[in-house]
Amino acid sequence: MKSYIKKILSLLIISFFIIVSFQFIISNIKSLKTVAQDFEVFYLSGKQVINKQNPYLLIGGDIVRNPPPAVLLFSLLTLLPIKTSQITWFVLSFLSFIVGSYYIFRIFEKFEGNKSLYSRNWRIWLIYLSLGFIFFPFRYNLGSGQMNNFLLMFLVLALYLQQSKKELFSAFILSLAILLKITPILLLFILLIQKKIKNVIGIIFFTTIILITTYLFLGKNIFSNYLTVTNSFFDFNIHTYYNQSLSGFLARSFNNIILTKWLVYISIVIVLTKVIFLIKKIKKDNFQSNIIFWNISIIYMLVLAPFAWQYHFVIIIFPLVTTAYIGYKMKLSYKFFFFLILSYLLIGWNIKNPTALLNKGIFGSIILSHVLFGSIILLLLNYSLAKNYLLKK
């Protein structure tokens, strides 16, 4: 009877994966026929670099805001025609998602002393990929030509290497993440509180080396040009639905930039203070605690940023999967997994016609901030794991 049920479940998993994959492939083939807006911005900014001009201008549909080393990377995109380059970028982005996902499961094996078979269990992989392919931040990231799959891979590898006692390699990977997108610099704060001084010094060292290399290739003007766009990092009045950070919700709710800014600043102080006390109280440096605090840091990066488009939430795949794993290993109640599934659904959802809710007051703002609230649920679940799991160990 058990083998019969197992065969039925396997058939359902395979069928679901085939249907989801087919739709995913068709959708992306269609999207690759035209140049995506974000990729076009990356490509054109790379051309500006090649032509020794300022890449931090309104080029295409937006302004590139990535640090200078990332812009140096964009210059390589121009070696190919724009559509060919976009297809290459798409493939590399997808592969980085697969590599990052593989090492998430390898983390589980390390957690269990290499006794786990998660990275080799095809059923788990098919379920995971199916849920990933219908996860809107992942689809949006690929469709827009963004780079957050690379960031996901770097964040996963950094933790994996750190726990493999390869601190220098971990520091190098994390420095790449910081120079790709500035927000992972928050992890320096967490590592410092955890007294991982070797990691912090390594990150500072490699970041400095990469910045010097960029300076030698692109000159000093690239840095002064970059500073002209950093003011946008403190724009707390971005109302658009795709901004799913705390400031986005507050901007939609109150339309008061001063109030939004101060509420965000106060929230930053509160949550960073909370994580400091949590780390000090737990006083543990083991694999479980590192995963949980890595999860909390990733969620902080997204929720506390002045703006976080839905495609930025690709990186939350890591805390979603690891939270599910730890909950499963602890044999937690159905209530825990109900809220975890709710978190996944809220983060992975996309409203097709958000403008219909813009004038619905606070009620409309809450609905339009579903990704934010899904992330907060996930954050609270990790707080719960930290308190109820680590403190009792």
Query: How would you class 83 by CB atoms within 10 Å of its CB: exposed for 0-12, middle for 13-18, buried for 19 or more?
Result: middle
What are 315's two structure tokens? 């990186």
- What element of type H or E holds 364? helix 361-368
Render pLDDT for 147-175 as a digit per residue (tens, 0 to 9).
999 999 999 999 999 888 899 999 999 99
Mean pLDDT calculated for residue range 234-259: 88
Q: Please give the backbone phi and psi of residue 228, each rounded to the nearest 5 degrees, phi first.
A: -70, -20
Q: Residue 120 — pLDDT band, cuts 50, 70, 90?
A: low
Render pLDDT for 62-90 as a digit per residue (tens, 0 to 9).
889 999 999 999 999 999 999 999 999 99
Q: Residue 142 — pLDDT band, cuts 50, 70, 90?
A: very high
Mean pLDDT calculated for residue range 247-266: 90
The torsion of the CA quartet 267, 271, 273, 276, rounded to 10 degrees, works out to: -160
Mean pLDDT calculated for residue range 265-289: 84
Query: C-alpha angle 135/382/331, rounded to 5°?
Result: 90
Q: Residue 216 — pLDDT band, cuts 50, 70, 90?
A: very high
Q: What is the DSSP letter of 309?
A: B
Q: Is 204 helix (H, G, I), strand (E, B) or coil?
A: helix
Q: Of 64-73, 119-128, 208-217, which range is least confident?
A: 119-128
Render pLDDT for 324-350 as a digit per residue (tens, 0 to 9).
999 988 888 899 999 999 999 999 999
d(CA 98, CA 296) in angstroms, rounded, equals: 23
- What element of type H or E holds 6? helix 2-31
Q: Residue 5 — pLDDT band, cuts 50, 70, 90?
A: confident
Closest Cα partner for 282 from 389, 354, 134? Answer: 389
Tell me if 76 sits within 8 A of 68, measured CB to CB. no
> Which of 1-10, 182-191, 313-322 holds the top average pLDDT?
313-322
Can you say how many angstroms the Cα of residue 151 is from the centroid of all Cα atoms in its chain?
6
pLDDT at residue 393 greater than cutoff 60 = no
- What element of type H or E holds 52? none
